[in-house]
Amino acid sequence: MADIARIVEVVEPEAQALGFDLVRVCYFKGGEIGDEEHTLQIMAERPATGQLVIEDCAALSRRISDAFDALEAAGEELIEDAYRLEVSSPGIDRPLTRTKDYVQWAGHEVRVQLANPVEGNRTSLQGDLVSLDGDVVTVADRKSGNVSFPLSDINSAKLVLTDRLIAATRPLDTSGAEDILEEQED
């Protein structure tokens, strides 16, 4: 198994060197039924836009690969299994992984999976993210009303794609869009 903390130690400076913030590092097996290949997923963003364009992803991927290769040449193998490196922007319905995400996206709908049950054995919540107060998150759950729980109890959390989220999201970088050629069908 991969040591995610060590991988973050290697990947984060590479992202920062390009002016990006690291959003998430995740290592998992498969993705589709029968897929046995491992994936190292790296999500990063430009702080000013909250996104990465394809050239950014390619640049970060090269830096990560070079850093991993250098460590391997020095005798440290970060991941023993064969794996696929996936570098991407977090997207509009992004995962919430950092404390600042809970502050920035308060007021937007979220889907949360908890490690410990709340409100009568529930581990799944969906509703508006109300606040982060210290290390306590409050969600206005559709079924239970306001539910508060420790940030450390969250297994996963992500924004839900809504019209309100689309309206609040910074516009995508459209540079180069005018250079796209469309083919005419005969």
Residues 110, 162, single domain; the answer is yes
Q: CATH number for the domain including 17?
A: 3.30.300.70
Residue 22 CA to residue 31 CA, distance in Å, equals 22
First to last CA, the chain: 53
**179 occurs within a structural domain:** no
| β-bridge partners, 128 | 109, 140
In a domain, 180, yes or no: no
Please state the rounded mean pLDDT for residues 161-182: 70
Residue 2 confidence (pLDDT): 82
| This prediction's pTM | 0.81
Backbone angles phi, psi at 106, to 5 degrees: -55, 140
The answer to whether 139 and 111 are in contact (CB under 8 A) is no
What tokens does 80 get?
Answer: 């023993």
The pair of three-digit structure tokens given for residue 42, joined into one six-digit string: 């790296």
Q: Which residues contact 98 (CB under 8 A, 6 or more apart)?
A: 23
Task: Assess if residue 177 is contained within a domain.
Answer: no
How much is the pLDDT for 64?
98
pLDDT of residue 184: 57
